[in-house]
Structure formats: C-alpha cells, structure tokens
Structure 1
Amino acid sequence: MSNNQLSVYQSFAFGELTQQDVVTIRETIGKQCDESQFKLFMSIAKAAGANPVMNEIYPTVRQNQLTVQFGVDFFVRKAKESDGYKGYDVQLVHENDEFKMHQEKAEDGSYFVVIDEHSWGFPRGKVIGGYCIAYKEGFNPFTVVMEVEEVEHFKRSQIGMQKTMWTNYFNDMFKKHMTRRALKAAFNLNFDDETVENNGGDNIPEYQPQQRERKDITPQQDTIQEPQQQEPEVIDPEVDKIKQARKDMSSKFKQLGITTKQGMSDYIAKNAPNFGDNPSYSDIVGLLSYMDMDIEMQEANATDDDSLE
C-alpha cells in the first residue's frame, strides 16, 4: 500500500488504534467492504470509541449491504467504565439441571428476578435456556432470563458469519447474547447493530437521515431551502458538508429531547468520546449514525409502552 493510500485512513485512527492498525483492519475484517462502506464503518467505530482490533465492533457485507455489529467485549468494557460496575454472571440452563427462580418487588415498585436454585450434575442434557445477572452498586441485580427458542432464529440468519457462529458455537453465542442484553440495560449502553445501504463511490457517503413516519419529527425545510444568494460565492465543499451535518445533529438532539448545551455535551462525551472540539466530517457522520440508532430505540420503547396500555 502506497503512502498516499495509507494517508487516506489517517483520520480514522483514535485512542490506541494507529493509522497502520486501520490499514490492517481494511485488509482483514474489512476486506469484504468497498471503500465507502469501510470508511462509514470506521466513522461509526471512531464515534463510539469501539476498537475493531479488540473485536469490539466489526462489519459484515451481504448483497452489497453493510451491517455494523458491536461485539460483547465492547459492552463489557463500557460497563466496566460505568459508575457502580460490580461484575456480571452468565449461566446456561440444561434440561437436567435443577433451576428455580421468582420475582420480588422492590421498594420503588419495580420487580427484579431472584434465582432460588441452580444446581447440576452430569450428564446435563441439552441447553434449554440461560440467564445473565448484571450487578451495579446501589441497584438491585438486573437479570436477563431467556429460553433457547428466543434465539433459534440466529441459526437461520442471512448476515455474514452469524448463521455459522450460532450453529457451530451455540452455547458461547447464547451466553454472549444474554451478557450483551443484560449489560446494555443495566448500564444504559445504547449501542445497536445497524444495517446501512451502500451508495457506491470512493468517499464517505453523504449522511442521509433515516426516514420514518412520526408525528413529532422536526421539519427539515428550514435547513434545506435556504435563501438564494444574489451573488455567486465560492463554498468549500468540505466546510459545506460539515455545516449541514451539524444542522442534522441539532435536529436529532431535539428528537432525542436534549435541548441544553450541557445535555448535548454530556451526550457526546458519553457516546463519542473522541469527538473533540473540531470534529471532522467522518466524526460527525459516525455520531449521526449512532443518534439514528438511539432514536430508533426510543421509538421502539415508546411503541412497547403503548402496547402495554
């Protein structure tokens, strides 16, 4: 790879991830990506602070679609960095195990799961379920309990190596899945896998806000239909792209209900720790992609709440 090609990836280095590491990622786990898919993947990784070398995030491509997936190691690290982290315990339940649990009601009216008994001998039989308990100081343990039927669909997945991994290493994948869900909920780690369309080209794709029908969406007309300039002016395309991307950020903060400068700063510090005071266009694209995932999660939670009424 020439020095010119190497310099292309300079902006994607962050933390302990060097420019040469980015090249290695491109030639290994990113080899299925085209150039714009890879740059978008690295933008999302940089915004989240997820290191591909440490298996914290990785891309898969199928039918020209890029799917960005966060690994369980990323959730474990982010949980350890959170206040009050006291570890977690994940176990599989086999058909011959003795397993009992119940729910208790906390003082605030919420319920939490208590494992009364889980003992076993050999042979244990096939796996029928499992659980993961996340411990956080000052809070009741948060437990995810699942039956095997809830994850069987992963064996039929069409995403990259997911089907192979769930078929050949089911027990490990099941434990990782429960761990991810438990830590994500207990420590409010709002990171989700995302599938994005490939628009081709050699540059980072222009950020396109996800289109969803919603009553409270912020109109975009003010940012799109700007007054025509009477006199032609020379505009730096990169500066213009960053300006528009910042407007998209402002709109998405409103959708997330974050309206104060401090709230915005806290959000960026938590979810894009490498953002900095003068972020590049790729940095902003990564954050916007994450904000879209966060908005989707809010909407999904709101829909779930409505269905319970």
Structure 2
Amino acid sequence: MATNQMISYQTLAFGELTQQDVVTVRETIGKACDESQFKLFMSIAKSAGANPVMNEIYPAVRQGQLTVQFGVDFFVRKAKESEGYRGYDVQLVHEQDEFKMHQEKGEDNEYHLVIDEHSFGFPRGKVIGGYCTAYREGKKPFTVVMEVDEVDHFRKSNIGMQKTMWTNYFNDMFKKHMVRRALKAAYSLSFEDETTVGNEGVPEYKPQERKDITPNHEVIDSPKKPSKPENEDIDAIDEAKTEMVKKFERLGIPKGKARTEYIEKNARDIKGEPTLPQLLGLLELMDMHIEMHDAQLDDNDELE
C-alpha cells in the first residue's frame, strides 16, 4: 500500500488498534467498501470502541449501502465491563431432549422465565429451540427462549454471506443470536446487531439509540469530492436537514456560528452543499453525541 495511503489512515487507529491493523482491516473485511464507506465504518468503530480485528464489528456493502454489524464478542465485552457481570449460559434444545420451563412472578410483580428441567441423552435429534440466561449481581437472571422457526428467515436470507453462515453453521449462529439478545436486555446494551448507514440511493434514516460510546469521536476527511444530488434525493436531503436542526436543539447548540463550528469539527468532509450520504453520516454521529449528552445529564442528576 502506498505511503500516502498509510498516512491517511493514521487518525483511524484507536485503543490497541494500530495503523497497520487499520490497513489490514481495509484489505480484508473492508475490501468491499469504497474509501468513504471504509472511513465512515472506522469512525463508527472508533466511537463505539469496537475492534474490527477482534471480530467485534465489521462492514458489509449491500446494493451500494454500508451496513455496520456488531459481533457477539462486542456484546460480551460490553457486558463484562458493566457492573455486576456474572456471565451467561446458552444451550440448544433438541427434539429428543426433556425440556420444561415456566414463568414465575417475583416480588417486583414482574414475570421471569425459569428453566425447570433440561436433560438429554444421545441421539438428541434435530435442534428445535434454545435458550440463553444472562446473570447479573443483584438482578433476577434474564432468560431468552427461542424456537428455531423464529430464526429460520436467516437461512432463507437473500444476503449471500448471511444465508451461507446460517446454513453451514446454524447451531453456532443460533447460539450467538440468543447470547446477543440476552446480554442486550440484561445489561441495557442498546447497540443494534446491524445498522445500515446511508451511502447510495435514498435510504430511510432511522435514529439508533447507542450507549457506552466513548467521547473520542472524530470524523475522517474524505478524499472524494461531494457529488451533486440527484433530483430524487432532494426531498430526502430536506428531511435530513430538518432532522439535523432538531438534533442541534437536543444538543443545546444555538443557531449560527456554533452550529457551523460543530459541522466543521465533526463532519469535515462536508464542503459547501452536503450530499445525502454526508447528512446521514452526520445524523448518525449526532445521535451518538446526544446519547453522551443525555448520559452526562443523568450523571449530574445523580450527583445532586
């Protein structure tokens, strides 16, 4: 890789991720991305503190759109960093297993799933379901129970890699899916398994709630000149701008110079009239800043 390309990736390194690691990510899991998509992906990874080398986050490009996916290892690490972590247990239920469970009403008047029995011998037969129980100090165990039918759509997916993984490694993928769901609920982890970031076409913008975001977010300069929006993008651009104004108000940033400085600092790839992908990327980052802003307010309230 050219030296100037290496230099352009300097600011993408974070935590234990080195500049050479970034190059490796670019040449492997990031090879389907164009340069702007890759830098946006790395910017999101940096904000979340998710390490792509450790399979905690990875990109996919579908019909020209960047999709960012968080791996199960990321959810496990974030749960371990949470207060009261006591691990989890994930099991598959086969058609020959003896399996019983019930719902139990606790002193808090909330119902909790309780596994009464899960015993088995061999042969066990086909997998028909599964469960994952997440444990947390001072909390009731949180259990997710699922039947195979609930995830069968992954095996029928029109996304080639997703279909391949769920078909060839169904048991492992099913377990990982249940672990993510259990840990997300037990430890209030609001990272989505998969988030589509607008890049081409006119995708619908959907704000994502995100927690445990580090404050060291930085948007990397894009080497591409913004293209002129197509006619069909105009309405979507107007909607994105309206959404941006609302988010400025949520952040308490007044009109005028302060908002201009915010964009210059956090979205330096925007030069002149922004394109739709640039606006969608900025809105994604503003969601993260809003999450951090709200978290700081909550911390201040607790101190009072």
TM-score bracket for the superposition, by shorter chain length = 0.7 to 0.9
Amino acid at match of 1:129: G
1:118 paired residue number: 118
User: 1:113: how far off?
Assistant: 0.8
1:202 CA displacement: 3.7
Task: Please tell me whether residue 196 in structure 1 is matched to residue 181 in structure 2.
Answer: no
SS in 2 for 1:118: strand
Answer whether contact 1:61 1:159 (CA < 8 A) is retained.
no
**Are residues 210 and 62 of structure 1, via their aligned partners in 2, closer, same or farther at CA, if it must alter by over 3 Å?**
farther
Aligned residue runs from structure 1 range 101-140, under 5 A: 101-140=101-140
Which amino acid in 1 is paired with 2:199? N
Q: CA deviation at 1:238?
A: 4.0
The verdict on how the C-alpha distance between 1:264 and 1:33 changes in structure 2, with shifts beyond 3 A counting, is: farther
1:159-190 per-position Cα deviation (integer Å, ceiling 9, x unaligned)? 35111000110000000000010011101111
Q: CA shift at 1:196, angstroms?
A: 1.8
Aligned to 1:23: 23
Where in structure 1 are there 5+ consecutive unaligned residues?
228-234, 267-309
- The code of the aligned residue for 1:196 comes to V
Whichever residue aligns with residue 75 of structure 1, its letter is: F
| Partner of residue 96, structure 1 | 96
1:81 positional shift? 1.0
Task: Give the length in aligned residue pairs.
Answer: 254
CA distance in 2, matches of 1:62, 1:259: 33
CA separation in 2, counterparts of 1:210 and 1:109?
47
The letter of the residue matching 1:171 is: N
**Partners of 1:55 and 1:73 within 8 A in 2:** yes
1:71 Cα offset (Å): 0.4
SS at match of 1:121: coil
1:63 to 1:240, Cα distance in 2 relative to 1, 3 A? closer
Measure how far apart 1:131 and its partner are: 0.1
Residue 198 of structure 1 aligns to which amino acid in structure 2?
A: N
The amino acid across from 1:88 in the alignment is Y
Q: List alignment gaps of at least 5 residues for structure 2.
A: 202-221, 228-235, 271-278
Instruction: Confirm or deny: 8 A CA contact 1:88 1:132 kept in the other structure.
Output: yes
Which of 227, 243, 246 aligns to 1:218? It is 246
Q: CA deviation at 1:248?
A: 6.4
Partner AA of 1:70 in structure 2: F
- Counterparts of 1:36-185 in structure 2 under 5 Å? 36-159=36-159, 161-185=161-185
Residues 253 and 38 of structure 1: is their aligned pair in 2 closer, same or farther, counting only changes over 3 Å? closer
The offset of 1:3, in angstroms, is 1.7
TM-score by length of 1: 0.71
For 2:187, the equivalent position in structure 1 comes to 187
Give the counterpart letter for 1:83 in structure 2.
E
Distance verdict in 2 for CA 1:81–1:204, change over 3 Å: farther
SS at match of 1:29: coil
RMSD between superposed Cα atoms in Å: 3.9
Task: For 2:25 and 2:292, locate their aligned partners in 1 and report how far apart those are by CA, in whole Å.
Answer: 36
How far residue 156 of structure 1 moved from its aligned partner, in angstroms, is: 2.0
Counterpart-to-counterpart distance in 2, 1:211 and 1:61: 24
Bigger RCO of structures 1 and 2 (CA < 8 A, at least 6 apart): 1
The answer to whether the 8 Å contact 1:65/1:196 transfers is: yes
1:144-170 C-alpha deviation (Å, 9 max, x unpaired): 000000000011223351110001100
SS of aligned partner of 2:25:
helix
Q: How far has the Cα of 1:239 moved from its partner?
A: 4.1
Structure 2 CA distance for aligned equivalents of residues 210 and 90 of structure 1: 46
Instruction: Return the alpha-carbon distance in structure 2 between the equivalents of residues 236 and 184 of structure 1.
Output: 32
C-alpha distance in 2 between matches for 1:74 and 1:92: 22
